[in-house]
């Protein structure tokens, strides 16, 4: 079987990367089947060990178990997100409950938990290294929070809930993707009014991607929709596209997610109560830096108070712009980006079409690599011979000081129908040193519109920021330097995971970087200093809107998980009313397509973590500014050692204090968003 199935064979190609070009959907079912059999046998051997529990025969043994399953799963979920198909989706629907059941059985295994519990009770006398102590602590918490200490009836119910939750999360995401794939709005020449050349080129590329050669089109990819809403002078088409975009998963029929949300929230609440928590939010937050819903709400309220004043002022200014142009209509959600672009040009003599020619994708990739080199001594060398799953994917070998191999970085930058929307970092292999040095294979996935006709892909400043954000996650994986897989790379508490990514964004709009990399894609000339100054001066423009749409989704997330089954539309309406959210602002993620919290539970009751981490990242970047050099070597070394390389080896608060010398306050965040002064 291994000779015929590349998933079961040894990967002997470059860097031990999987032969992605040879893997087919039909390879996955037998590979999963064999991997599950092997993992069950490995777990049974650990649980039935008659010797006294030790770190080696229990915790380290658990870390070594399931390697084939990890290998197969990593490849499968990369394809399920970035290059899916009907066959992959069918396997995903079948495997979701199977894998959930498999992990539930492990985490509810009485004999296994008894060994972990015995170790945990005498952890101070085991002579463990700090990293080993942390891994034991995380394993014990994982099993305890899964219900390992409950009675038999509660365990059986938890297993059933876990199976059903897995069966609900997969179709939720597939429904959203189906709505995205099924929508395309062809555009004629008369429909292109207001669109700058780069947006027209992107629309032509989107049409070609959908088989409409020689035409123009808008799809429901965020990178297609947002520029159209920003520039199109056709208000009727803006409304049409906006309504389709915000209605993903909310259209009735087979792809409607309303019933899934109601059942899913009820099951999560029941799970939390079985585990002794008053709600799923209390359960989820108990294992974070925040600890309680009250702590999260306190942060959200502190930011929403000035943001609400700011967004109301922004709305009024946009309405004045409408009126000044002779419009006799009230500003609507599909108008916001269009008139914000007009107002930004008026206030700062700045528009997106003036900026994008200086932000070609290739230069922004180089800029991200440059910052990594200045901060951490990393070098990126493109390696075209590494197998990939799509011709768009590029591969770089990452080397450290002295040429030491650090890992491999995969970049998948362009939107296509086979890819879910959004941007994310994932991995084909994580770093560990348990049985020798294993270096990571890290992947960044984006959804930029490819330049049509061989033209370079030009990014908006927000697109460039997204690239830097995900590359920050990528560095968290690449720089990981721990022994145990459990705490490798991004294996940290939920509300700490966004710190490395959001912190990395700060370097993008620094003059030191723009003066080197913001070059016109045709002439190679640097962005004029006057334009650069205006761009930097405008960075807090429209922050009320951006904060409002994000916080709306964050409050909604908490409200869904504070007890009981929930109706999606009712929660959204009630939350908006309590916030006094302006009608002109729609949530960044409306519940029917809020994949962060409903396609799985990783961000459920945890979407706040972006803001929580922003408190940290705003304060963390101050450390470089206080040093007088945004590439200060001493600060960069502390950052690498305590944040990027440390994985989950330490408690996040302890790790942050080791870097910064203290915990942060919310003031740098408010300053970064422009909510100080009259809005304080």
Which residue shows structure tokens 């930058």?
413
What is each CA distance from 105 to 36, 300, 318, in whole angstroms?
A: 12, 37, 56
In the 8-state DSSP scheme, what is residue 6?
T
For residues 221 and 234, give the distance between their C-alpha atoms in angstroms, rounded to a whole number: 19
Helix runs in 492-542, H state only: 499-505, 511-517, 529-537
Tokens of 222: 């965020």
Provide the 3-class DSSP secondary structure of residue 581: coil
CB–CB of 596/556 below 8 Å?
Answer: no
Rounded to whole angstroms, how far apart are CA atoms 151 and 155?
6
DSSP state of 401: G
Catalytic pick among 470, 498, 505, 584: 470
Beta carbons within 8 Å of 172's beta carbon, 6+ residues apart? 249, 257, 260, 261, 264, 595, 598, 599
Contacts 24+ apart (CB under 8 A), 73-76: 73/32, 73/35, 73/99, 74/426, 74/427, 74/428, 74/429, 75/7, 75/18, 75/20, 75/23, 75/428, 76/28, 76/32
**CB-count exposure of residue 213 (10 Å: 0-12, 13-18, 19+):** exposed
> Which phi-psi region, left, alpha or beta, contains residue 128 (left: φ > 0; alpha: ψ -120 to 50)?
beta
d(CA 187, CA 207): 9
> Is residue 352 among the annotated active site residues?
no
d(CA 609, CA 73): 26
What are 441's strand-pairing partners? 408, 429
Q: Which residues are catalytic?
A: 470
């Amino acid at each position: 079987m291994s000779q015929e199935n590349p998933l079961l064979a040894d990967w002997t190609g470059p860097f031990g990367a999987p032969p992605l070009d040879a893997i087919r959907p039909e390879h996955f079912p037998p590979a999963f089947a064999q991997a599950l059999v092997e993992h069950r046998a490995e777990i049974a051997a650990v649980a039935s060990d008659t010797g006294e529990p030790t770190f080696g025969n229990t915790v380290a043994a658990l870390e070594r178990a399931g390697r084939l399953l990890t290998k197969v799963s990593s490849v499968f979920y990369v394809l399920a997100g970035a290059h899916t198909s009907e066959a992959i989706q069918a396997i995903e629907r079948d495997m979701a409950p199977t894998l959930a059941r498999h992990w539930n059985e492990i985490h509810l295994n009485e004999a296994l938990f008894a060994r972990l519990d015995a170790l945990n009770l005498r952890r101070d006398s085991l002579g463990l290294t700090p990293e080993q102590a942390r891994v034991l602590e995380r394993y014990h918490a994982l099993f305890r929070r899964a219900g390992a200490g409950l009675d038999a009836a509660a365990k059986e119910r938890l297993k059933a809930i876990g199976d059903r939750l897995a069966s609900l999360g997969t179709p939720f995401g597939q429904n959203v993707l189906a709505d995205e794939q099924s929508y395309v709005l062809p555009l004629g020449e008369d429909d292109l009014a207001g669109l700058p050349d780069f947006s027209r080129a992107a629309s032509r590329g989107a049409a070609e991607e959908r088989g409409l050669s020689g035409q123009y089109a808008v799809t429901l990819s965020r990178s297609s929709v947002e520029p159209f809403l920003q520039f199109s002078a056709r208000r009727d088409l803006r409304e049409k596209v906006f309504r389709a975009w915000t209605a993903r998963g909310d259209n009735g029929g087979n792809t409607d997610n309303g019933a899934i949300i109601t059942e899913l929230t009820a099951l999560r609440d029941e799970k939390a109560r079985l585990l002794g928590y008053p709600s799923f939010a209390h359960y989820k937050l108990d294992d974070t830096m925040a600890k309680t819903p009250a702590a999260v709400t306190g942060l959200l309220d502190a930011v929403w108070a000035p943001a609400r004043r700011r967004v109301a002022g922004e709305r009024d200014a946009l309405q004045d712009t409408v009126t000044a142009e002779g419009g006799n209509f009230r500003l609507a959600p599909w108008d916001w980006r269009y008139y914000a672009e007009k107002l930004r040009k008026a206030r700062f003599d700045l528009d997106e079409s003036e900026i994008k020619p200086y932000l070609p994708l290739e230069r922004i990739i180089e800029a991200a690599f440059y910052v990594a080199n200045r901060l951490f001594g990393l070098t990126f060398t493109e390696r075209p011979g590494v197998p990939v799953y799509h011709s768009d994917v590029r591969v770089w070998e990452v080397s450290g000081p002295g040429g030491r191999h650090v890992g491999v970085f995969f970049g998948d930058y362009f939107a296509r129908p086979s890819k879910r929307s959004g941007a994310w970092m994932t991995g084909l292999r994580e770093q560990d040193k348990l049985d020798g040095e294993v270096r990571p294979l890290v992947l960044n996935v984006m959804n930029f519109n490819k330049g049509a006709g061989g033209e370079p892909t030009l990014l908006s400043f927000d697109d460039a920021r997204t690239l830097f954000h995900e590359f920050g996650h990528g560095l968290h994986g690449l720089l990981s330097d721990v022994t145990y897989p459990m705490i490798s790379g991004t294996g940290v508490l939920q509300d700490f995971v966004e710190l490395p990514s959001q912190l990395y964004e700060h370097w993008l709009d620094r003059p030191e970087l723009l003066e080197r990399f913001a070059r016109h894609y045709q002439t190679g000339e640097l962005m004029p200093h006057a334009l650069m100054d205006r761009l930097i001066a405008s960075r807090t423009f429209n922050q009320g809107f951006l904060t409002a749409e994000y916080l709306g989704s964050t409050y909604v997330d908490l409200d869904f998980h504070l007890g009981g089954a929930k109706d999606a539309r009712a929660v959204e309406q009630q939350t908006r009313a309590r916030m006094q959210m302006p009608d002109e602002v729609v949530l960044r993620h409306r519940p029917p397509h809020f994949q962060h919290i409903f396609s799985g539970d990783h961000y459920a009751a945890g979407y706040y973590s972006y803001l929580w981490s922003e408190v940290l990242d705003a304060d963390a970047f101050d450390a470089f500014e206080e040093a007088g050099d945004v590439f200060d070597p001493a600060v960069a070394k502390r950052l690498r050692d305590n944040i990027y390389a440390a994985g989950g080896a330490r408690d996040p608060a302890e790790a942050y204090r080791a870097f910064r010398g203290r915990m942060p306050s919310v003031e740098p965040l408010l300053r970064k968003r422009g909510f100080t002064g009259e809005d304080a």
